[in-house]
Copies of this chain bind each other. A is one copy, B any other.
Amino acid sequence: MSRKRLPALSPAETEILRLVWLLGRGTVQQVCDKLPPRRRIAYATVQTLLRRLEKKGYVRHESQGKAHVFSPAAEREEVIRRTVGDFVDRLFGGDPLPLMLHLADHSKLDADNLKRLKKFFAKKKP
């Protein structure tokens, strides 16, 4: 696989890409419907964002009749890794620990998730 670095994602693009991952495959309309109520963006705007994501290589589309069906075109894990990495670099100089502690502190974790984390770290080896 051609592991070339894709162009950076803008915040809005990131948001849309997340929805494409969530859907697996979906039309512009379906992506719109998945938008959180808080974050209302016009259909046309989502369209543009998807177009740009495609140009950048993050999604592809296939024409299904009239509509376009979009689907991921890049390894999600890889994109996440890079995006998180960049974020940690900028805000914490590359050290992930402060972020982890911050998240652990400020996130309202339900008992279930907390248990998962406890277990995860209990058995994690150096």
Chain A positions within 8 Å of B, measured between CB atoms, are: 11, 14-15, 18, 22, 36, 80-81, 83-84, 86-87, 89-94, 96-97, 99-104, 106-107, 109-111, 113-114, 116-118, 120-122, 124, 126
Contacts and interface: CB of A to CB of B under 8 A. Distances in A.
10 contacts: A11-B86, A18-B93, A80-B91, A84-B91, A99-B103, A100-B104, A100-B117, A101-B120, A114-B121, A122-B122
Given A15-B90, A84-B106, A121-B121, 12 more contacts: A15-B89, A80-B102, A83-B91, A97-B107, A97-B116, A100-B103, A104-B121, A104-B124, A109-B126, A114-B121, A118-B121, A122-B122
Nearest to A19: B93
A80 B107 CA distance: 13
A19 B36 CA distance: 34
A118 B122 contact: yes
B122 A109 contact: no
A112 to B, nearest CB: 9
A92 B14 CA distance: 10
A126 B110 contact: yes
